[in-house]
Structure 1
Amino acid sequence: MAQPPRLTDRKALARNRLRASRDALFLHAQAIDEIKERLSEVNRTFTAPCVVTGFPQIWGEAFPEAKVIGDDEVLGIEEGAHDLVIHGMALHWASDPVGQLVQARRGLAPDGLFIGAMLGGETLAGLRAALAEAEAAETGGLSPRVLPMGEIRDLGALLQRAGFVLPVADALPLEVSYSGGLALMRDLRAMGEANAMEARLRVPTRRAVLLRAAAALEAGATADGRIRALFETVFLTGWSPGPNQPQPLRPGSATARLADALGTEERGEDGGKR
């Protein structure tokens, strides 16, 4: 079977994460709070949770009862060992996100729950456009600079491809204001989300590119002189198949008519009553 293209330079990603500042990990804090809220609404007590993340300290503190493992290409997860797997803000860096989801599903016992949080396609759309225009103007070309992120409908489909049942994908947007474009770029570095793409240029970005992109962002500043940046966190939820889960009925097996339930008359294509 052909291997997926290598999207991420894992060594560069690890370096970026080591340089991250805990004070800048507000997206992780938001994801943790949201996941805890969602788990509180599930009528289930989880006794063998596992967390997959590139930031083990903050996620381990949030879920002290969980086994915490890295988001390596091959997950250190034992088959069928967990009733809950949380994938914490790391799937957007996976070269093979379906492979990550498949491994997470295999790590679940029957009827186990998976919850993943990752950056979605609406994240920093303005910055991506500004950097592309600035680089084209300054260098005459484009290089892989900002991580491509999936749209919510595509991300939801990944759950089905990975074999989860009852899949749900939804998004939580967060708008953040910055004093300027360079402040936003510095914050991304502090988050550990700087460019770690395998195909990136291996030389520093020209300062002229950064200044031009910052100026483009600042041209759309609000009345208070600050720029707005949108972060979209997508949450993926699915269950491993289990014998006691609700199952769809076979077509044609219904014992009651929808028209009777609605109190209406059923009509055929020719308009006649049935």
Structure 2
Amino acid sequence: MQNRPHLTDRAMLTRNRARADLKDAMFLHDMAIDEVQDRLSMVNKGFTSPAIVTGFPSIWQRCVPNAKLVEDTEVLALEQGAHDLVIHAMGLHWADDPVGQIIQSRRALQDDGLFLAVCFGGQTLHQLRAALGQAEVELSGGLSPRVAPMAEIRDLGSLLQRADLALPVADTAPITVTYETPWALMSELRKMGEGNALQGRIRTPTKRSIMIRACEIYVDSFMKNGRIPATFELIYLTGWAPDASQPNPLRPGSATTRLADALGASEIKLPK
């Protein structure tokens, strides 16, 4: 049996994260934490045994008090049925098996436990990907892996159902950040710990001519008011471990109230 191919070079990812500037470059994690805390505050339920799956435990430890912090490795150190809340924090885009990560999180939940994930979505860094791709095609005649592939919201939403999570919801929050130059953006990505850690990346330094051309394309295509934009799409996923207490959809045709009555509107019959 052949081994499943790996998307991510875990050793490089670990090195990149170890070099991250945890003081000044983690603003996206800070925004994600604030949003997660806001969502949890709207849940009419207390959580007594939370766990957080993350590559940045020192950042995410403030999200939920007394949470167990678990590294986002291929096999998660989560005990089955031990938690009433599992948060998967900003790491699914580096996972070789995203659905496996969600299934493992689901198995760690008690009945009626909540799974909540936040990760980068498919629109993240689309400007940078377009500029690098065009520059490489122009100067080398091909493409090489440079930015981790990120799933679209509809694909991530379907993973919740595959993991047997009830009441699944997926929504997105695009964020646009501006920089003086593409060089400044790429420098900040390294400070975030989000440098290229793809297993299939070219291991030799990128030719300077390609990087210069990519920056020219970026500026020509996207610069506005003297700054270049960079999109970061944060996708939030929520689902519950099934429990008999949860609401179920009604049978089709079982409604006892007309929609017009519920809306306080007059019903207009269409001509036959």
Q: Secondary structure at the match of 2:215?
A: helix
TM-score normalised to structure 1 length = 0.91
Compare 7-16 and 60-69 and name the one that shifted more.
60-69
Which residue matches 1:137? 138
Which residue matches 1:7? 7
**Counterparts of 2:72 and 2:269 in 1: how far apart (Å)?**
54
Which residue matches 2:59? 58
Q: Which runs of 5+ in 1 are unaligned?
A: none
Aligned-residue offset at 1:265: 8.1
TM-score normalised to structure 2 length = 0.92
Aligned-residue offset at 1:255: 5.9
**Counterparts of 1:184 and 1:55 in 2: how far apart (Å)?**
21
Q: Secondary structure at the match of 1:29?
A: helix
Alignment of 1:147 with 2:145, yes or no, is no
Q: Which runs of 5+ in 2 are unaligned?
A: none
Aligned-residue offset at 1:229: 0.8
Q: Name the CA shift for 1:180/1:168 in 2 (closer, same or farther; >3 Å).
A: same
Q: How many residues align?
A: 267
Counterpart residue type for residue 222 of structure 1: K
Aligned-residue offset at 1:140: 1.6
CA deviations on 1:184-217 (whole Å, 9 max, x unpaired) are 1111111111111111111111111111111111
Which residue matches 1:222? 224
CA RMSD, 1 decimal: 2.0
Q: Secondary structure at the match of 1:61?
A: coil
**Counterparts of 1:124 and 1:16 in 2: how far apart (Å)?**
18
**Counterparts of 1:221 and 1:265 in 2: how far apart (Å)?**
51
Alignment of 1:176 with 2:177, yes or no, is yes
Counterpart residue type for residue 155 of structure 1: L
CA deviations on 1:120-175 (whole Å, 9 max, x unpaired) are 11111110000001111221211111111111111111111111111111111111
**Counterparts of 1:70 and 1:27 in 2: how far apart (Å)?**
19
Alignment of 1:234 with 2:235, yes or no, is yes
**Counterparts of 1:113 and 1:189 in 2: how far apart (Å)?**
32
Q: Secondary structure at the match of 2:176?
A: strand
Superposition map of 1:28-177 within 5 A: 28-177=29-178
Aligned-residue offset at 1:181: 0.7
Aligned-residue offset at 1:2: 8.1
Which residue matches 2:21? 21
